[in-house]
Structure 1
Amino acid sequence: MNYLKKFNNNVAMVIDNEEKEWIVIGKGISFGKRPGDKIVTSEIERRFLAEPSQDFSYIVQTIFSMDAELIEAVNEMIHEAELVIGVKLKDKNYITLLDHINFALKRTSEGIEYSAPLKWETKRLYPKEYQAAVQSIGYLNQRLGINLPKSEETFITMHYVNAQDGKEKLEQSDRINMIVRMIMTFVSDEYQIELDEESTNYIRFVTHLRYFIIRQINNESLKDSSLDRDLMMIIKEKYRRAYEVALGVSEKVRREEDWEITSNEVLYLTIHIWRVTSVDDE
């Protein structure tokens, strides 16, 4: 690629061997360059084909509404986050997150904070992405001398979740969170107790529910043959109340989600319900 012109030190217009123009982003990619200079591929962190489209207009608007220091900071932030989540953000996700950060900074400077729904569930369901989000906010706060609100942890977590191929997209993540909360509320109401959200057993239950829900969405329920029949009878008898509530959960998701829950799934739910409603926690 050959350099055409500078937008700022981190953003340039280039042209490839097929005469196609691109906007490229990379740390110091424009520094000291003159028209016609070669651009080394390793210098490019993101590239966007410069052709008329609604998406490209959005890309241009987003990039050029941000100053060079902010773009460089977000590039570094995303690079470190990608190492944590093990996935490279697609260009579309990158631009969406860039836009989000830009507006988050503007809201913060104006003293505006949006509340983040299902913060706890997001933290527990997506620990790797949440860790990356906390790291990202800490980096931006230190680098830019700002103080982004805690609610951004949840918002940025969901950006990292949504960026991953082959995993739950943002809409599915919202659905998973909603169903987890519905089940937890049902169990709490049945026992008429407030569940300890910081307990180990609660965390284990949420983790189990996440994979339980994903299995249902993907039509991958546990087969009834995977548990010994005698063991199934022992669990039913020993944890009778928890088993009844598990059956209630099964009926609720059948009505709400049209899912048919296998007896094995019910038994695993029984064990988790018994643990999360017990006084003692490991």
Structure 2
Amino acid sequence: MQLTIKQVFNNNTAIVDLDTDQQAIVRGKGIAFNKSKGAAIDSAKIEKIFYLDTINSQKNLYFLLKDIPIDVVTTTYEIVDYAKKHFNYLVQDYIYITLSDHIYGAYKRYMEGDYTPSHIPDMSDNYIEEYLIASAGLNIINQNLKIDLPSSEIRNLALHFINAHTSEDTSTLDVSKKIDFTKLIKKILIQNNIFRTKSNSNYYDRFMVHLQYLEQRLNNMSADTKFDRKFELEMERDYPGSTSIAKQVSAEIKNARGVELNNKELLYFIIHIQRITQEAGLNDAR
């Protein structure tokens, strides 16, 4: 297979054009050293390859590369690739955006000494596959990024896979046709005295990224289970203010789109809102 460089990121990572008119990210020690666009790559040096086999996957990659280092992006692709290959685990394409964003945020906080372990309750008994994927994902993150995130981070990573899971291949969905919910949700946050500040900007921006791909998730909303409802009640007990705001958001989305958020999505909203309010010094908004 002839591999031609389309873009060099660093000595060890590049995008290549394949004979099949596809593109892929390739990674290997020194694989792109002293090379430029149009040069051939020695396939024997490839240690990892991540295929960009849809237009959406290529768009997602270039969107990510605007703000997130290539080492974090390839780490995300490696984790998702592990889920697909080892568990045949189908996810919606937006996970590349949200998971990369989360990993980069955790990495920055770790390097700045501001990282705090996850307080998300353990759901491993009910989501065994997701926790196995997340456990492997944590090892990949720590190895690739040369950091040492604690085992509690597995809960954060698992939640991304729980939230993005789908029973069908959605890689051909055109996310450019999504409905933009960000203005609607910002209005609700402002009504509850929640604003983007310097201290909460990281969590606030991550929530906005999450919302950009809400339409894709609404099209694949799974039914609630008894466990999901139980978990929602626990969150409502621990974070009543954030739960109230999340339910306001859910009601507005139902009015705008005609679809009610399931408990998993509502949980994700509660967690986002709680983090934003904590960083803003509001604790649990009541």
**TM-score interval for Structure 1 and Structure 2 normalised by the shorter chain:** 0.3 to 0.5
TM-score when normalising by structure 2: 0.45
Larger Rg: 1
In the superposition, the TM-score normalised over structure 1's length comes to 0.46
Higher relative helix content: 1
- Structure having greater relative contact order (Cα 8 Å, sep ≥ 6): 2
